[in-house]
Amino acid sequence: MCGLCGILGGGGHWTDGVGTGQAAAVPWLRRQARRERVALGNAVLHPIGLTLSDWQGSEFLLRARTGATTMVGTLTDLWPKAERLSGRIIDPLDPDFLDTLDAAGR
């Protein structure tokens, strides 16, 4: 999908939620929750050479060390796109992968 469609496409995904009621309606809380998701994503993606950043509060940008970049609409899309971008299968439950995260203090 093109960037414009991503911006206009609009219905939220459950992973973008900050809760219910008034908290969901407060813009700064939504932005804060999104920043926290990006930080956590980067902690997990760093060992495999990928970084995640926010794009306009509606998409994520996933980047490889080579400069290759792809748009990620929701966190559900993250693993398949991370595998394609890194060129390898990523098993988030692999003991070696988890040991790498532990060693990095993440």
Would you give per-residue pLDDT tens digits along the chain (106 residues)? 455 454 444 555 545 555 555 555 677 788 888 899 899 889 889 888 999 999 888 899 999 999 999 999 887 889 899 999 999 888 878 898 888 878 877 5
pTM above 0.85, yes or no: no
Domain residue ranges of the chain, discontinuous segments joined by +: 23-87
Collapse the DSSP code of 78 into the 3-class scheme (helix H, G, I; strand E, B; otherwise coil) and give the result: helix
Give CA separation, 3 vs 40, 66, 76, 103, in Å: 24, 22, 18, 37
Residue in the structure block whose two tokens are 């969901």: 24
